[in-house]
Amino acid sequence: MVALLAQRSLLSVCQCPDFMHRIKRHACSRVVKKVAFSSLLWSSRVIPLFFFVFWQRHDMMKLVVPALLAAAAQAAPSTRDCCQSLAAFLPSIYIGPSTAEYDRLITARWSITSMQHPGCVMTPASAKDMSSIVEILSAQQCQFAVKSGGHNPNPGFNNIDNGVSIDLRGLNSTSLAHDRSHVSLGTGLSWGDAYAAFQKDKIAFTGGICEDVGVGGLAVGGGQSLFQAGKGWVVDNVIDYEVVLASGQIVHANQNTNSDLYKALKGGSTNFGIVTKVDLAAFDFDEMWGGQLLLALSGPESGHAQTIETITNATVDFVAENHSDLDSGIQIVATYLRNGTRVVDVALSNTANIANPPALQPFLKLPNQIRDTSRHASLAELAHETSLAIPRGFRYVTASVTVSNDKDTLLDFWKAVDGVYDGLTVKDRIDWLVSVVPQPQIQQTHAKSRGGNVLGLENVEQDQLVLWLVSRWNDASLDSTMEDARQKFIDAAVSVGQKHGTYSPFIYLNYASPKQDPLCGYGAENFAFMKTVAKKYDPFGVFQRLQPGGFKLSQVQCA
């Protein structure tokens, strides 16, 4: 009886003239008849799907939907029901369990810690596909996760147990504007593939440092790049987002259209919708100079403390003068391997393709050099080389703390980190990587010209350093030990910053521990702004409730 009422109500909507300017009558009737054909899909768990969609489009639905939704709510949705609905309506992009493709997708993870077992996997190939998926998930109140590159190791951030996993790999389109002013990238691309796609055009854009990081996550989380000083964060180079909202509506967000959403997405992560495509400012580019300079920290002649002090002095001096050479960049990575070897990897770069530039001479003259791979290379080649330091197939934890660019702070930080590492009893079973990522103040000046962002750094006057932990291991029995070590790293870094008066509340979201609150670190004004935008574009909190992974506005209370 309920199914019959629902079918008749929907068919009446298909005949409504006011409604028909939004949906073709024959298409509407076809969907209704298709659904009515399946008794499964007219169960109390699925009926809300259709009424949710039509609710968005016509006020008359408010007369019939409440009673039907109330009846449907008595039966809690199951993952099985959600997946059956998706399979019925979107069979070409549905992947069910117990298939080879399902097994391949759930194991295709950068970090094993993000490996989970969803009830099914959806692989949208267009924004329209994504719209249909979101309409179904929203209507049936199905929990879901979204994976772009899957480079975040935090459990549940890009995967889900028993819910629906949305794998963006099919959103892999690339195009170059006729005037070469920007590129369009599907959010299922990796940055390595994106760079390679435009290499023949001698075009580049501000993107990720590692080749296997996904476009989707980085483009809403901030985004470190090799063009940091000269062009700012990756989000500051986005000129348009294509976004699927909770209603299934496909919108664009830029400086002229939905400008509040545009700003909120630039650092606000997964709180507002699912981004299916980004347009990034492009520029002429062929090759650059860069590579990895490897230095010994262990061994009888390495002089660990002296080497660290020399590197620290060179790092702080470079960041302080980065404004005078916006093309040169560095990243310091101290790596303590499970075999007892300790090395420092200095990633050097010059995006103007100048070999051995003056700004990088203090690093090129460092003692205890093991290997220097610097050369003229493409962006794709350098992104590949960087990824080799953090390969797939391990269990990972990450964390991030920010401090001002200060020698005493950085020296004490290295001592504190050594203390945390030396206190571990499992050093022979883990690798411990600690990075120092420059964040020169000048990079914050690029945001304003494209509508700003929500990172909260526009008024920061000091150069800063992002202190980043990446630790890996194989044995799942060490998970709790490594989570504890990560927290000790955070506590030690924060304590050092507070001691020297250099601690910054900013936490780089894409590097953060799940126990950190990067959204609060953006400041009270930006946090309130993001909540307002989320309420406007997602009034029922679909991305707060149904997509539980990631840093959610609804899950934190900022002091």
| Gap between the Cα atoms of 94 and 72, Å rounded | 25
C-beta atoms surrounding 63 within 10 Å: 9
276-294 b/e (C-beta count within 10 Å ≥ 16 → b): bbbbbebeebebbbbbbbb
Query: What is the arithmetic mean of pLDDT over 109-121?
Result: 97
Pairing of the two strands 430-439 and 94-95: unpaired
CATH number, domain 288-518? 3.40.462.20
* 337, two tokens: 């391997």
Q: Output DSSP code: residue 23.
A: S
Residues 207, 215 contacting (CB under 8 angstroms): yes
Residue ranges of domains in the chain:
1-76, 288-518
- Closest Cα to residue 365, out of 342, 389, 346? 346
pLDDT at 250: 99
The per-residue pLDDT of the chain, averaged, comes to 89
Radius of gyration of the chain (CA): 25
Q: Would the pLDDT of 26 be above 50?
A: no
- The pLDDT confidence band at residue 300, using thresholds 50, 70 and 90, is low
Is pLDDT at 70 greater than 90 in this prediction?
A: no
Token pair of 526, please?
């930006």
Whether 49 contacts 135, CB under 8 Å: yes
Residue 51 has pLDDT above 70, yes or no: no
Beta strands of 385-477 (E only): which ranges?
395-404, 430-439, 464-473
pLDDT classification of 559: cutoffs 50, 70, 90: confident
Interval 231-276: pLDDT, tens: 999 999 999 999 999 999 999 999 999 999 999 999 999 999 999 9
Q: How far is 204 from 178, CA to CA, in rounded Å?
A: 15
CB of 135 within 8 A of CB of 51? no
Give, as one character, the DSSP assignment of residue 111: B
Alpha helices, DSSP H only, in 159-303? 191-197, 215-221, 228-231, 259-268
Predicted confidence (pLDDT) per residue in 510-532, tens digit: 999 999 999 999 999 999 999 99
At 288, the amino acid letter reads M
List Cα–Cα distances, 150 to 168, 208, 263, in angstroms: 10, 14, 24
d(C-alpha 514, C-alpha 535), whole Å = 23
pLDDT in tens, 303-326: 778 889 999 999 999 999 999 999
In the block, residue with structure tokens 């002091």: 559
pLDDT tens digits along 461-472: 999 999 999 999
Which is more confident, 16 or 175?
175
Average pLDDT (174-190) is 99
Q: Which region, left, alpha or beta, applies to residue 150 given φ > 0 means left and ψ of -120 to 50 means alpha?
A: left
Q: What percentage of the chain reaches a pLDDT higher than 90?
A: 83
